[in-house]
A = this chain, B = another copy of it.
């Protein structure tokens, strides 16, 4: 009998819904360096936009000196940059909140990392010129649909304050990992806003508008807002910068292990500065040890891989906990910041294993 054994095993995205398509990455299988398109989580508010690109033009208008219309060729000829960026959905880890919150029950896999190439938004704004009184830049996508809460059709659109819009690393991207951006992730052009949760990184850009007031679209003022109280909207504030966070990729939660050596590994990330420390506890948080941070090539907006070699000879149950600290001194909290819509979960990551 032939002993060939070539039965391919591979992970897929885990599906929450198809219309709109919301699928997350099984985070234990993600590569350290960049997320393959096949495992790049998909987060949509609407069905995919009905457009083709035979005649794509990007308008920049509003409070500008000269409204302009750029072709893809125009954009491809401008000076570009490539940056490594973590995109994390602000609803990532929503299913860990207690009490539970309504909405898509994202686990730990609404996060990706990869290389985005494009033109700084700042460069485009310099081409059109910003007029006095300009306050925000609104980026609108081609995706649209009815909001069931207000029974009205909207495009997906978000604004950035001028200072974030003109940050040199806020780019209008046209490539992901050296390829044209995959359609489901925003082809042909996607705004990439490093350090902010990914609701800011508008896909399928339709237009860029400079405004002299505060944008009040529903994805700015109803969704993507922290509401700390269950019963009212008091003390609400907008979702912006990514919180310091970490995820244990290995072992799996509730896994059964043998005694001996085990590599505990994972990722850590932050929207402010970089990760300076990752602490591991194998006793549920009573005592902590430093994990090894993988060397990082350059300054980037990517995540930080880490590992800890655990030698365990005593059988029993263990709670493994990871806690990241960033260069701004932010530390993952023990208790998450509960908010009604379930954004920005970043409590210390916990799993349980049994050694037998």
Which A residues fall within an 8 A CB radius of B? 1-5, 7, 9-19, 21, 23, 26, 29, 47-52, 54-55, 100-103, 105, 148-149, 183-184, 252-256, 258, 317, 352-354, 356
How far does the alpha carbon of A2 sit from the alpha carbon of B148 in the complex, in Å? 27
Residues of chain B contacted by A12 (CB below 8 angstroms): 12-15, 23
Contact A47 B149, beta carbon cutoff 8 Å: no
Contact B149 A356, beta carbon cutoff 8 Å: yes
How many chain copies does the complex carry? 2
The 5 closest A-B pairs by CB, nearest first: A12-B12, A2-B52, A5-B50, A14-B14, A11-B15
How far does the alpha carbon of A256 sit from the alpha carbon of B340 in the complex, in Å? 13
Known: A7-B184, A9-B21, A26-B15. A103 touches B252 (CB 8 A): no
Question: Nearest CB to that of A6 among chain B residues?
Answer: B48
Interchain CB contact (< 8 A) of A47 among B5, B26, B184? B5
Residues of chain B contacted by A3 (CB below 8 angstroms): 50-52
Contact A253 B105, beta carbon cutoff 8 Å: yes
Contact B14 A9, beta carbon cutoff 8 Å: no
Q: Can you spell out 25 A-B residue pairs with CB atoms less than 8 angstroms apart?
A: A1-B52, A2-B54, A3-B50, A3-B51, A3-B52, A4-B50, A5-B48, A5-B50, A9-B18, A9-B19, A9-B21, A9-B48, A11-B15, A11-B18, A12-B12, A12-B13, A12-B14, A12-B23, A16-B252, A102-B255, A102-B317, A102-B352, A102-B354, A148-B256, A149-B356
Residues of chain B contacted by A7 (CB below 8 angstroms): 48, 183-184
A269 vs chain B, min Cβ distance (A): 22
Contact A18 B29, beta carbon cutoff 8 Å: yes
Residues of chain B contacted by A102 (CB below 8 angstroms): 254-256, 317, 352-354
How far does the alpha carbon of A346 sit from the alpha carbon of B55 in the complex, in Å? 56
Residues of chain B contacted by A10 (CB below 8 angstroms): 18
A16-B252, A102-B354 are known; give 15 further A-B pairs, CB within 8 A.
A2-B54, A3-B51, A4-B50, A5-B50, A7-B183, A11-B18, A12-B12, A12-B23, A17-B252, A102-B255, A102-B317, A102-B353, A103-B254, A103-B256, A149-B356
How far does the alpha carbon of A256 sit from the alpha carbon of B9 in the complex, in Å? 35
Question: Nearest CB to that of A151 among chain B residues?
Answer: B258
How far does the alpha carbon of A241 sit from the alpha carbon of B105 in the complex, in Å? 32
Residues of chain B contacted by A16 (CB below 8 angstroms): 252
How far does the alpha carbon of A354 sit from the alpha carbon of B13 in the complex, in Å? 26
How far does the alpha carbon of A213 sit from the alpha carbon of B88 in the complex, in Å? 58
Residues of chain B contacted by A317 (CB below 8 angstroms): 102
A315 vs chain B, min Cβ distance (A): 11
How far does the alpha carbon of A354 sit from the alpha carbon of B341 in the complex, in Å? 12
Residues of chain B contacted by A55 (CB below 8 angstroms): 1
Interchain CB contact (< 8 A) of A5 among B13, B26, B49? B49
Residues of chain B contacted by A258 (CB below 8 angstroms): 148
How far does the alpha carbon of A7 sit from the alpha carbon of B50 in the complex, in Å? 9
How far does the alpha carbon of A52 sit from the alpha carbon of B15 in the complex, in Å? 33
How far does the alpha carbon of A12 sit from the alpha carbon of B317 in the complex, in Å? 33
Question: Nearest CB to that of A107 among chain B residues?
Answer: B14
Residues of chain B contacted by A14 (CB below 8 angstroms): 12, 14-15, 26
